[in-house]
Structure 1
């Protein structure tokens, strides 16, 4: 962290009830005081440090511990565009953010809050909400880091869509304003109202948006929700993923993206992953264990997912309660957060636990099967349902209006997540009611878009020179 971070306010979840009570106004005043040491205008712009590390080297270092045969797929996916590169380059931006001024106000940070890590999913009550949906990198860190990564992703997405720079600036400024205004609202809400607040996709309205754009977005959203409802039912998933040609159901191999691991790669294979499953069960709430115990383990296979996760040990497990009653669990390797070198180590002994605790803190509702375990190979994992009406944005045909609407939704979700773990009133006090902070983050995001484009060119040059290998998948 930089020198300003000597003043960081600790994110302490074990706070003593005997500590002095402060009103929201008093906490906001403490936030305003922080402007003296770290002016909001100091958040503007981006200038790389003189000793900034080579981005390709950072990416190569992030491959440590991955399945090296899959790394070319990771790099191939990142090579598709500067926007795709940004999605896989969280380690690069974490190093860059650590050199920027910070207010010192910590929250449970996402760590990788770009546009594609937000989306819709079903709650245990089967409502469809919008929230952050990827928290692999979560760790307590300055709130600005998440907001800057989100803002930069909006500008990079606008560039990807070939939108005018003026539109990109308006869209990102509007998203930051949405964050600031939502945080202000949360700062003076009752604590339980903040905790229970959620963004219901089926009821979501943005009264500040263009009515035609809002109507079009709602129509598209309704179609997506219906499609995902169909995709998430067992009758759709089971025949797509499972073969019944042998004595017992088995996940279909589709190398290199779905395959069964060797004993060398997965030592737990010989015992049917008995120890890891038992440990995962212990991480579940007691009432969920009753439900989980109805299911029996049948098979496990590696399943390549995402961009940044490619090469890590991610898999899918098949469990059955009856012949027509399957449960698919996604098993994702949890490695040290990209924020750890700059924000400090996690307090949790298992990185899967780190992810799950962060997820439960930041999301307004979480999968009932969320849990963690450790494999015989020493790797940490977290587990959730493979697909539970999970929806991510498909931005390819968006215009400025659609990007604006989605950016505001992401900013709203981020503000709500930060308000659950951090001090929203203090953040609001620091941000203020004017546009100073909005304009500063817009300037940062615009200039960091140029940095990302430069890093992408260096990445492509490294591929062409044979320094790194990239494999382009057939569509």
Structure 2
């Protein structure tokens, strides 16, 4: 936490002009050019940092976690939020705080529908979220992920740097726009996907995306995970086993990790608003199965609960274990957020333009594990983000930059951030340099993981 500055931060209810000037004054304490620095990593072991949470994970799943991380430097980066948090703790920090995502890489954004039936693009992973974090932490991780993804796609260094720099520019310029808007207008700003698709220059790709969007919009209320994940036979609904990624807790190897689902979901309902609790009460838990997800989350407890009405209508809720945020390497969490599921839920509500109505938290007293609960993602809408990320990296990265700016402007002070970053490209250029340096570091760390795995046969216990 070097170069921190906390004494020049004005209250958010002061005039906008004062907050802009305060942001400009912060440049004297932390020059924008200073963000180009990438901390030397010779004194830390990335494999050891990754292993810090292994004891809290399911041992049998650790090989899957490390196998996924070994696939490429980009998959390594996805699973190495703890490593980057460790590194960013030593970088210059301005003291302009926001609710941070904590794991802000390209694939933690996506498309989803709101309760009103609108389709938005937004951040969609908040396992590491924490308030009171310097805004540079998220934007540096996002820029680095762009550089790593570009290099992973065999783009030249110059192009990778340009994409990372452009992502930061999109963030900065949208912050400048939001800084002059009334707070309510900032709060209600949303990234409407049909509007965002129109910004893509490639006509053919734009038409493809609109086609996918129109198809996905036909019945947003229907859960397309049924019958993909589960089917009903003779009136009995059950999630299909697909080991080793989806399975029931009915073997000797898995029974120790089973949660008491009915009590966990009962505790979850108590945290919901009354009208949402009334909605959930119309469903009954029919089945629950473990589901391996993501890269960084592999090994934590994650299950899918299948709920059914008396008339056979499905609802899938995901219950996911919440460990302490990796951002605790940078700042301590507020005392009221020691319930990790509550931390995730509050962070998601703070950053997302529209949050899942089923979002809540629970815990299991027997094991003291904390969880959060959310509705399982719509598969049709998920394909939109995959097309964007795979075929239009530049447009996708810029959209991620602007989306992060919108999220930060809700909890932070956009006028303060705008004053600090300014209208020039000094900040963009500095983070472009940082992103390339960190991409090189990620490549080295990825090689360290592969070497450790090769030497030991497996990083996980048998």
Q: TM-score, normalised by structure 2?
A: 0.92
Match of 1:290 in 2: 278
Distance 1:154 1:69 in 2: 32
Query: Which structure 2 residues correspond to residues 62-461 of structure 1 after superposition, within 5 A?
Result: 62-140=53-131, 141-204=133-196, 211=201, 213=202, 215-226=203-214, 228=216, 236-245=224-233, 248-261=236-249, 262-268=254-260, 273-346=261-334, 347-375=336-364, 376-388=366-378, 390-391=381-382, 393-394=385-386, 398=390, 402-461=392-451
What is the distance in 2 between the residues matched to 1:237 and 1:433?
45
Matched position secondary structure for 2:91 = coil
2: CA distance between counterparts of 1:158 and 1:131? 21
Cα shift readout 1:240-290 (whole Å, capped 9, x = no counterpart): 32244577322222221111225532251xxxx332112111111111111
Q: How many residues align?
A: 452
Matched residue of 1:345: which SS?
A: coil
> In the superposition, relative to structure 1, how do residues 21 and 396 fare at CA in structure 2: closer, same or farther (>3 Å)?
closer
Quote the residue 1:15 is aligned against. none
CA deviation profile, 1:278-319 (whole Å, cap 9, x unmatched)? 211111111111111111111111111111111100010011
Give the whole-Å Cα distance in 1 for the aligned partners of 2:176 and 2:12: 22
Instruction: Check 1:249–1:99 CA distance in 2 against 1; reply closer, same or farther (3 A cut).
Output: same
Contact kept, 8 Å, 1:8 with 1:106, in 2: the verdict is no
Distance, in Å, in 1 between the alignment partners of 2:23 and 2:198 is: 28
The 3-state SS of whatever aligns with 1:130 is strand
Question: Which stretches in structure 2 are left out of the alignment for 5+ residues?
Answer: none
Partners of 1:466 and 1:131 in 2: CA distance: 40
Preserved CA contact (<8 Å) 1:66 1:311: yes
Pairwise CA distance, 1:379: 0.8
Give RMSD over aligned pairs: 2.4
CA contact (8 A) 1:77 1:307 kept: yes
Distance 1:464 1:230, change over 3 A: farther
Structure 1 position 225, deviation (Å):
2.9
Q: CA separation of 1:315/1:118 partners in 2, compared to 1, >3 Å: closer, same or farther?
A: same
Equivalents in 1 of 2:332, 2:81: separation in Å?
16
Moved more, 41-50 or 240-249: 240-249
Q: What is the alpha-carbon distance in structure 2 between the residues aligned to residue 397 and residue 460 of structure 1?
A: 26
Q: Which residue of 2 aligns with 1:5?
A: 4
Work out whether 1:57 is the aligned partner of 2:48.
yes
Quote the Cα distance in structure 1 between the aligned partners of 2:322 and 2:219: 26
Counterpart in 2 of 1:44? 36
Task: Output the CA distance in 2 between the equivalents of 1:232 and 1:306.
Answer: 24
Output the CA distance in 2 between the equivalents of 1:396 and 1:202.
Answer: 13
In structure 2, what is the equivalent of residue 26 of structure 1? 18
Residues 373 and 381 in structure 1, CA contact (< 8 A), matched pair in contact too: yes
Contact 1:331 1:381 (8 Å CA) reproduced: yes
CA separation in 1, counterparts of 2:12 and 2:82?
38
* Structure 1 position 50, deviation (Å): 5.0
- TM-score using structure 1 length: 0.89
Q: Distance in 2 between matches of 1:377 and 1:33?
A: 49
- Between the aligned partners of 1:50 and 1:165, the Cα distance in structure 2 is 23
User: 2:198, 2:26 → 1: CA distance?
Assistant: 32
Counterparts in 2 of 1:285 and 1:457: CA distance versus 1, 3 Å: same
Measured in 2, the distance between the counterparts of 1:282 and 1:20 equals 33
Aligned in 2, Cα 1:90/1:231: closer, same or farther, shift over 3 Å?
Answer: farther
Q: 1:45 deviation in Å?
A: 3.1
Asked whether the 8 Å contact 1:45–1:445 carries over to 2, the reply is no
- 1:156 positional shift: 0.5
Structure 2 distance, partners of 1:223, 1:365, is 24
Per the alignment, do residues 405 and 327 of structure 1 end up closer, same or farther by CA in structure 2, a change over 3 Å counting?
Answer: same
